[in-house]
Amino acid sequence: MEKRATFSNRYLPYALLAPQILVTLIFFYWPAAQAIRQSFMLEDAFGLSSDFVWFENYVALFKDPSYYQTLWTTFVFSGSVAFLSLSVALLLAVMADAEIRGATAYRTFLIWPYAVAPAVAGVLWIFMLDPSLGMVARGLKSLGLDWNPRLNGTHALTQVVLASAWKQISYNFLFFLAGLQAIPRSVIEAAAIDGARAWRRFWTITLPLLSPTTFFLLVVNIVYAFFDTFGTIDTMTQGGPAKATETLVYKVYSDGRLGGDLGGSAAQSVILMIIVIGLTAVQFRFVERRVTY
């Protein structure tokens, strides 16, 4: 896709590109290159000199059981966030799509959590789930559950999942609703005439036709859980207790901040970059497919 009518000017296009290219070079490419370089270096204890050590940092990382624990936590965390927020959003979108009055009003009431900062979402949920003052925590305790996210890793992970999924419902709801409204009524009506009940229609027609949207949202939700939940985790649990809520991004942050392991932190960054590249590629393949359909 190219324009036929263009302007010709020798220097102007470079001047127009300059601001963006400059910011990109200084704050994207240079740091990314530094991360890659650092991941192959080992600093001495005083940070005075550093040696090129090939893949030592990576080998150390993959020998470290705590890295696998973080990997597993990230996997469980993003899977739960995606599953929870996608299923709630789908249920609500199907209901809103069911030709009821006030669908736009419901939409207004459901989309605003998108605008709440992840860190603020964490604060709101802490206020509900804190074992000593939270209202919901009190409810859980009165039901006989020994709710204590400060000591119990599963409880801590649960509360971070809840806060993160809560924020993502609105996004998923919007896209599911748009996807549902794009399904031709005639297809569903034809099935209804053939005698398929609502439940069967949903499983055999609506859900398969919605699968491109679902797949797209799945990728978006995983990217969200990986990278955009830092604020939620930092306000709620700081990765604890005993690293039970430490995701890959949080580990890069905490390993580098304690100052010690710059090479290891850089190696983790590089692995994260590879994950982003993979996820972006999947996302774009999907978008291309959708365009050609």
Asked if 73 and 157 touch (Cβ cutoff 8 Å), the reply is: yes
Residue in the block written with tokens 């009431």? 109
CA angle in degrees (0–180, nearest 5) for 229-33-287: 55
Distance of alpha carbon 202 from alpha carbon 80, whole angstroms: 23
CB nearer to another protein: pick between 53 and 65: 53
Structure tokens at 38: 């650092």
Phi, psi of 6 (to 5 degrees): -135, 170
Q: By CB under 8 A, what part of segment 266-285 binds another protein?
A: 266, 269, 272-273, 276-277, 280
Task: Count interface residues toward another protein (CB under 8 A).
Answer: 99
Specify the amino acid at residue 156: A
| Nearer residue to another protein within complex by CB, 46 or 65 | 46
Which positions from 229 through 258 interact with another protein, judged by CB under 8 A?
230-231, 234-235, 249, 252-253, 256
- Residue from 81, 82, 84, 169 in contact with another protein (CB under 8 A): 169
Q: Least distance in Å: CB of 246 to another protein?
A: 14
Q: Which is nearer to another protein, 65 or 113 (CB)?
A: 113
φ, ψ for residue 51 (rounded to 5)?
Answer: -115, 150
Task: Identify the residue whose tokens are 């605008």.
Answer: 115
CB of 278 to another protein, least distance (A): 9
Please pick, from the candidates 73, 168, 172, 265, the single residue that binds another protein as defined by CB under 8 A: 265
Give the nearest distance from C-beta 7 to another protein in angstroms.
4
Q: How near is the Cβ of 208 to another protein at its closest, in Å?
A: 19
| Long-range pairs of 100-107 with CB within 8 A, sequence gap ≥ 24 | 107/173, 107/174, 107/177
* Of residues 187-226, those binding another protein (CB under 8 A): 188-189, 192-193, 198, 216, 220
The single-letter code of the amino acid at 224 is Y
- Nearest to another protein of 49, 65 (CB atom): 49
Strands (E), 55-115: none
Binding positions for another protein, 75-134, rule CB under 8 A: 88, 91-92, 95-96, 98-100, 102, 106-121, 123-128, 130, 132-134
